[in-house]
């Protein structure tokens, strides 16, 4: 998109009272993740090779794709001293910001651990039978972090800290270093977050090493963290061998505004997601048509000042929308249908409207709550469901790094009562061994 195109950026305008609005909205929301068969085949081949040849395959792909020569996997592992040096070498203001963000993320997830049923429990019935649930953290988690200059240290904090709070014994991070270039801020974040081991590998080969294990890198129980199309394809394929967090789509923001917020603020909030990616989505819902005009004018005025203006312009032109709604009630109904990753309620009484929201990854209440604060330092996790999966999915949290086991201890008396029920149902299903297993525990007269 050239400068002339940006000066005449046309962002889609919709009105909920117009015929065909529902169809037009579906078109705006339509996004099919490209299931590129060539990418999927390449990822499958790399995974099979890593599974068969382990370290040697990982070293070969690292030479080929990242242009990094290493004689062994051990040479690609960073020491704790190197992580500590990355932290110590940070400019003081940057280090203070990183540590403050980490402290807030940790505090939030500590609270989450208490409130979200992260403790084992049990109860005893009148005949002495005990029933309950045991909550245990995962043993080992792998964290994938994209490499290069566009790496995101905030993602290290958001993925590693909840794992640590959950009680995961070992967190292993993989991060590619194309051309041998390391992102020191990412390494500093790993040190602050308590990452145990860091390997400078990436791509589908790193996912394979985490999922299957090699002589040097042990197999993990779950892989979390964002990556490119090859990483996403590899994560999708190893699911079942290990757990994964999610396959994330492009970033999304939906702003509900009553027209009382500075339009420059709202325009910049829309930019904040649009600058991620040409496929990112930024939508504004408002009952005031004149306010939408003011936001559109602000977009046109501010866009040329943005360093990533070409990406923002492509995103807004391709997947953005300014939508006039009948009222704030309807805005909330539409928001629930969209089920956005990020939802800002920029209004005088945000809590009144938040009570009507059922589907959103994160809800930002009030005009002072910019989505970017949630990305970096508010405390709640910024790993959120995209592509309308907020209808049935949740943000990454402590609970994603724990599992639950049922506890059953049946007393002699309980075996008599439960055994009769179980045997009757087992005979009904034609499973005689099940029935007899229960009956053998009956008291004999």
Kindly state the tokens that stand for 361.
């990854």
Strands 130-137 and 121-124: antiparallel
- DSSP string spanning 340-372? -SEEEEESSSHHHHHTT----SEEEESTT--HH
- State yes or no: is 359 an active-site residue: no
Round the CA-based radius of gyration of the chain to a whole number and report it: 26
Strands 222-224 and 243-244: parallel
Q: Which residues of 74-97 are buried (b: 16+ CB within 10 A; e: fewer)?
A: eebbbeeeebeebbeebeeeebee
Q: Which long-range contacts (CB under 8 A, 24 or more apart) does 288-292 make?
A: 288/258, 288/259, 288/324, 289/15, 289/324, 290/259, 291/257, 291/259, 291/263, 292/13, 292/322, 292/323, 292/324
Helical residues (DSSP H) of 116-202, grouped into ranges = 153-166, 184-193
Query: Which residue among the candidates 252, 276, 296, 342 is catalytic per the annotation?
Result: 342
- State yes or no: is 342 an active-site residue: yes
Strand-pairing partners, residue 343, are 254, 363
Query: Which residue among the candidates 341, 344, 359, 371 is catalytic per the annotation?
Result: 341
Please count the CA atoms within 13 angstroms of the CA of 419 that sit on its side-chain side.
Answer: 16
Task: Give the residue numbers marked as catalytic.
Answer: 341-342
């Amino acid at each position: 998109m050239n400068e002339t195109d940006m000066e005449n950026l046309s962002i889609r305008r919709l009105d909920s009272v117009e015929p065909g609005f529902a169809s037009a909205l579906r078109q705006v929301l339509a996004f099919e993740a490209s299931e590129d068969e060539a990418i999927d085949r390449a990822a499958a081949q790399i995974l099979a090779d890593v599974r068969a040849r382990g370290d040697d395959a990982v070293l070969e792909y690292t030479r080929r794709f990242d242009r990094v020569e290493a004689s062994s996997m051990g040479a690609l592992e960073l020491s704790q001293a190197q992580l500590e040096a990355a932290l110590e070498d940070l400019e003081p203001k940057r280090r203070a910001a990183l540590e403050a963000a980490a402290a807030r993320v940790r505090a939030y997830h500590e609270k989450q651990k208490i409130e979200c049923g992260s403790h084992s429990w049990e109860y005893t019935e009148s005949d002495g039978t005990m029933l309950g649930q045991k909550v245990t953290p995962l043993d080992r988690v792998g964290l994938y972090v994209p490499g290069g200059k566009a790496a995101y240290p905030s993602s290290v904090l958001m993925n590693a800290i909840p794992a640590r709070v959950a009680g995961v014994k070992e967190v292993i991070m993989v991060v590619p270093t194309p051309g041998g270039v390391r992102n020191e801020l990412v390494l500093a974040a790993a040190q602050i977050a308590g990452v145990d081991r860091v390997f400078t590998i990436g791509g589908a080969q790193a996912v394979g090493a985490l999922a299957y294990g090699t002589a040097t890198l042990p197999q993990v129980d779950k892989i979390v963290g964002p990556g490119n199309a090859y990483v996403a394809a590899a994560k999708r394929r190893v699911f079942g061998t290990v757990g994964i967090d999610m396959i994330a789509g492009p970033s999304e923001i939906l702003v509900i505004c009553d027209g009382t917020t500075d339009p420059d603020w709202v325009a910049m909030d829309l930019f904040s997601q649009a600058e991620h990616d040409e496929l990112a989505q930024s939508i504004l819902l408002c009952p005031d048509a004149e306010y939408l005009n003011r936001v559109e004018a602000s977009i046109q005025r501010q866009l040329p000042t943005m360093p990533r203006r070409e990406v923002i312009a492509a995103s807004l032109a391709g997947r953005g929308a300014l939508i006039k709604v009948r009222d704030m009630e309807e805005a909330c109904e539409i928001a629930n249908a969209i089920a956005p990753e990020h939802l800002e309620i920029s209004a005088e009484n945000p809590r009144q409207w938040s009570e009507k929201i059922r589907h959103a990854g994160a809800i930002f209440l009030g005009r002072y709550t910019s989505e970017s604060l949630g990305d970096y330092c508010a405390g709640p996790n910024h790993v959120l469901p995209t592509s309308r999966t907020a209808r049935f999915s949740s943000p990454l949290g402590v609970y994603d790094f724990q599992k639950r086991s049922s506890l059953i201890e049946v007393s002699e008396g309980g075996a008599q009562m439960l055994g009769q029920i179980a045997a009757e149902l087992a005979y009904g299903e034609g499973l005689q061994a099940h029935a007899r297993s229960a009956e053998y525990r009956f008291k004999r007269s």
